[in-house]
Amino acid sequence: MDRQMGFPTAWLLAAVLLPCGVGGAVAADVKGKPNIVFIMADDHTSQAWGCYGSRLAAFAKTPNIDRLAREGARLTNCFCTNSICVPSRASILTGQYSHVNGVKTLREALDPGADNVAKRLQRAGYQTALVGKWHLKKSPAGFDYWNIIKGQGRYHNPVMYEMDLDGGAVQQGAYSTDVFTDKALDWLARRDREKPFCLMLHFKATHEPWQYHPRHAKLYENVVLPEPKTLLGPTGPTGGVVPGWPLELLTQRMLKGGHGGGRLRVTSDDPQVVRRATYQKFVKDFLRCVAAIDENIGRVLEHLDKHQLAEDTVVIYTSDQGYFLGEHNYFDKRFMLEESLRMPLVVRYPGEIEPQTVVEDIILNVDFAPTFLDYAGTGSSPTMQGRSFRANLAGNSPADWRGAMYYRYYAGSPQRPAHFGIRTHRYKLIYYDGLKDQPEGQRWELYDLTQDPQETRNAYGDSKHREITAELKQRLRDLQAELGDRAGAEAQREGSS
Ligand code: CA
């Protein structure tokens, strides 16, 4: 693409000139219109999946998720473009970056009148349903059936709204992960069998406060979970320019109660002992919530098997973003650092995706919607900025696939300032535009991910990185121009002066 073209010319032209299927995608009529089951959790970071091989892999109870990876594709470089619940969900549905769809922080609603993937699937003859967490404020648009919680909702006895956000509230007397799956399977059982379907099942778990089901209370009872190497060091990357959210803040919250399994109990004043105790409770509660998700994904897979639907259904499982599980002594997300940026993702489609496929291409949340449309055989939407990765999943990655991604986080605070940046396969350059009062050199972070995969040392300003830093700054400017983020480009100009 001509990087000199501005927004919206560049991506509008790309959508017209590069219909899905370019670069070796499988023709949509080979398999007809497959069903799509899109399961998403909240904050279920890759460290808490068995199939991602983290320090916690042996402890995460995810046999059904691992089955999807074994029978399909696991993506190792899927990233969100703004690591926070509401914006990531809006980007997934619209195929647009936050600066285009307008959902930049937790505050904005997704405009029901705007184009989205569900509407386009409906027009392509799909039945569409959404069950569980929505979090986009206004009524879902494009779904024949929806039954959702408002905002964060509750883990236990959630209040759900069926087709009406003002009325229609019913309190469900059970655990949210189980209830949402019950509703999703009920809908599958009564759907019109003459049409393909797209079912979106979105769990509330594993969002804080990690209130797990009592059936998982004994999990990890006599276990000491392995700690990340960076847990006991200083908070954040050494030489990093922001404070971030330390576990000590979570300690304070957990001492008040409201989290899974009740209050944190600490009997020592030693800060390291308290930090380690907080970590153990936090991650155990988190993994107990994961166990329920996995069991319910198992129920969905069982349903597909039992009704001979597995062969003709694309099954996707992902999380809206990643999450820190004590790495850098952080919890929560928002940052462009790896644990927060990465979206774990598995996709199974037996006729087209080879078992145990691993895709290392840089895939983004804005690519989900164009991919679903590609499977539906409709061609992409001119409003969508992402690109279908159907071909990548099938082992035919287009030669001109992106080598770098653009990230931007808007909801700044002193501990977690607004920032944007670029990540390639090897490097990451971050600019904190929320630190405008700091000297220029203290607003940037640079990581060489091959030398420092855990991002423990900010390499910005090192003389040996001068050339690559200049190159990355230029590529960042190019991406901002290509994607039409004029405000981001202006912020970078100010920061470089
Ligand atoms: Ca989230």
Q: pTM value?
A: 0.93
The CA distance from 146 to 487, in Å, is 36
Residues with beta carbon < 5 A to ion ligand 1?
42-43, 85, 320
- Contact between residue 324 and residue 231 where contact means Cβ atoms under 8 Å apart: no
pLDDT above 60 for 261: yes
- Residue bearing the bigger pLDDT, 267 or 354: 354
Give me the half-sphere count of Cα atoms (radius 13 Å) on the Cβ side of residue 32. Answer: 11
Q: Indicate the residue type of 115.
A: D
Strand (E) or helix (H) holding 178: helix 176-190
- pLDDT value at position 497? 57
Residues 388-406 have a mean pLDDT of 98
Q: What percent of the chain has pLDDT over 90?
A: 87
Compute the distance from residue 85 Cα to the ligand 1 centre, in Å. 4
Task: Show the domains of the chain with their CATH numbers.
Answer: 35-211+281-394 (3.40.720.10), 405-495 (3.30.1120.10)
Ligand 1 mean position, distance from CA 5 (Å): 33
pLDDT for res 167:
86
Sign of CA dihedral 230, 246, 137, 206: positive
Average pLDDT over residues 434-439: 91
- Distance from the alpha carbon of residue 464 to the mean position of ligand 1, in angstroms: 37
Residue among 476, 409, 418 nearest 81 (CA): 409
If DSSP codes are grouped into helix, strand and coil, which group holds residue 14? helix
pLDDT (0 to 100) of residue 49: 98
Distance of CA 426 to the CA centre of its chain: 21
Q: Cα(88) to centroid of ligand 1, in Å? A: 8
What number is the average pLDDT over the span 37-41?
98
Residue 283 CB partners (closer than 8 Å, separation 6+)? 48, 56, 225, 325, 326
Q: How far apart are CA 36 and CA 216, in angstroms?
A: 30
Residue 75: pLDDT over 80: yes
Distance 91 CA to ligand 1 centre (A): 13
- Lowest-confidence range among 4-8, 77-81, 339-343, 454-458? 4-8
DSSP string covering 378-430: S---TT--S---HHHHTT---TT--SEEEEEE----SSS--EEEEEESSEEEE
Residue 493 has what pLDDT?
A: 86
pLDDT digits (tens, 9 = 90+) for 180-202: 999 999 999 999 999 999 999 99
Whole-number Å distance, alpha carbon 42 to ligand 1 midpoint, is 4
Lowest mean pLDDT among 37-51, 72-86, 191-205, 227-241: 227-241
46 CA to centre of ligand 1 in angstroms: 13
The rounded distance, in Å, linking the Cα atoms of 154 and 362 is 34
3-state secondary structure of 90: helix
DSSP, collapsed to helix, strand or coil, labels residue 272 as: helix
Distances, alpha carbon 65 to alpha carbons 48, 89, 163, 185, 347, in Å: 11, 21, 30, 18, 10
- Residue 231 three-state SS: coil
Q: How many whole angstroms from 128 Cα to the centroid of ligand 1?
A: 23
Angle formed by the axes of helices 247-256 and 271-306, nearest 10°: 80
Question: Nearest Cα to 320, choosing from 37, 45, 36?
Answer: 45
pLDDT at position 27 is 34
Q: 320 CA distance to ligand 1 centroid (A)?
A: 5
pLDDT (0 to 100) of residue 380: 84
Does the pLDDT at position 495 exceed 80? no
- As a residue count, the chain comes to 497
Cα(319) to centroid of ligand 1, in Å?
7
Question: Tokens at residue 257, please?
Answer: 């109660």
Distance from Cα 40 to the centre of ligand 1, integer Å: 10
Distance 361 CA to ligand 1 centre (A): 23
Looking at residue 363, its amino acid is: I
For 273-327, the pLDDT digits (tens) are 999 999 999 999 999 999 999 999 999 999 999 999 999 999 999 999 999 999 9
Q: What angle do CA 112, 117, 120 make, to 5 degrees?
A: 95
